[in-house]
Amino acid sequence: MYEAAIGLEVHLHLKTRTKAFCGCQADYFGAPPNTHTCPVCLGLPGSLPVPNKKAVEFGLRLALALGSRIPERLVFHRKNYFYPDLPKNYQISQYDLPLGQGGSLPLGERTVRIKRLHLEEDAGKSLHLEDRTLLDLNRAGSPLIELVTEPDLKSPEETRLFLQRIQALVQTLGISEASPEEGKMRADVNVSVRRAGEPLGTKVEIKNLNSFKSVQRALEYEIRRQTEILRRGERVKQATLGFEEGSGKTYPMRTKEEEADYRYFPEPDIPPVPISREWLEAIRQDLPELPWEKEGRYQALGIKAQDAEVLAYTPSLARFLDRALSLGQASPQALANWLLADVAGLLNDRGLTLEQTRLTPEGLARLVALFERGEITSRVAKELLPEVLEGKDPEALVRERGLRVVADEGALRAVVAEVIAAMPEAAESVRQGKLKALDALVGQVMRRTKGQAKPELVRRFLLEALGVG
Ligand SMILES: [Zn+2]
Residues 6+ apart with CB under 8 A from 421: none
Query: How many whole angstroms from 126 Cα to the centroid of ligand 1?
Result: 18
Question: Of 267, 271, 262, 257, nearest to 43 (Cα)?
Answer: 267
Q: Could you read off the pLDDT of 446-460 as tens digits, one per residue?
A: 888 877 788 888 888
Residues 300, 415: Cα–Cα separation, whole Å: 45
Q: Give CA–CA dist 119/63, Å, rounded.
A: 11
- Tens-digit pLDDT profile for residues 295-338: 999 999 999 999 999 999 999 999 999 999 999 999 999 999 99
> What mean pLDDT is predicted for residues 63-69?
98
CA–CA gap between residue 199 and residue 435 (Å, rounded)? 69
What is the Å distance from ligand 1's center to 37 Cα?
A: 4
Residue 142 CA to ligand 1 centre (angstroms): 9
**Which residues, 6+ apart, have CB-to-CB distance to 133 below 8 Å?**
84, 126, 127
Is 89 strand, coil or helix?
coil
pLDDT tens-digit readout, 202-256: 999 999 888 999 999 999 999 999 999 999 999 999 889 999 988 999 998 866 5
**Could you give the percent of the chain with pLDDT greater than 70?**
98
At residue 332, what are phi and psi to the nearest 5 degrees? Answer: -55, -45
- What is the 436 CA–ligand 1 centroid distance (Å)? 76
Using the mean position of ligand 1's atoms as its centre, give its distance from the Cα of residue 136 in Å.
Answer: 13
433 exposure class (CB count in 10 Å sphere: 0-12, 13-18, 19+): exposed
Give me ligand 1 centre to Cα 343, in Å.
43
Distance 124 CA to ligand 1 centre (A): 12
77 CA to middle of ligand 1, Å?
19
The third-level CATH classification (topology) of the domain covering 409-465 is Arc Repressor Mutant, subunit A (1.10.10)
Lowest mean pLDDT among 156-160, 320-324, 374-378: 374-378
The residue ranges of every structural domain in the chain are 2-280, 289-401, 409-465
Split at pLDDT 50, 70, 90, the class of 52 is very high
Contact 288, 172 (CB under 8 A): yes
- Evaluate whether 75 touches 97 at the Cβ level (below 8 Å): yes
Q: How many CB atoms lie within 10 A of CB 360?
A: 16
Task: Give the number of other Cβ atoms within 10 Å of residue 298's Cβ.
Answer: 25
- Residue 19 Cα to ligand 1 midpoint, Å, equals 7
Count of CA atoms in the C-beta half-sphere (13 A) of 148: 14
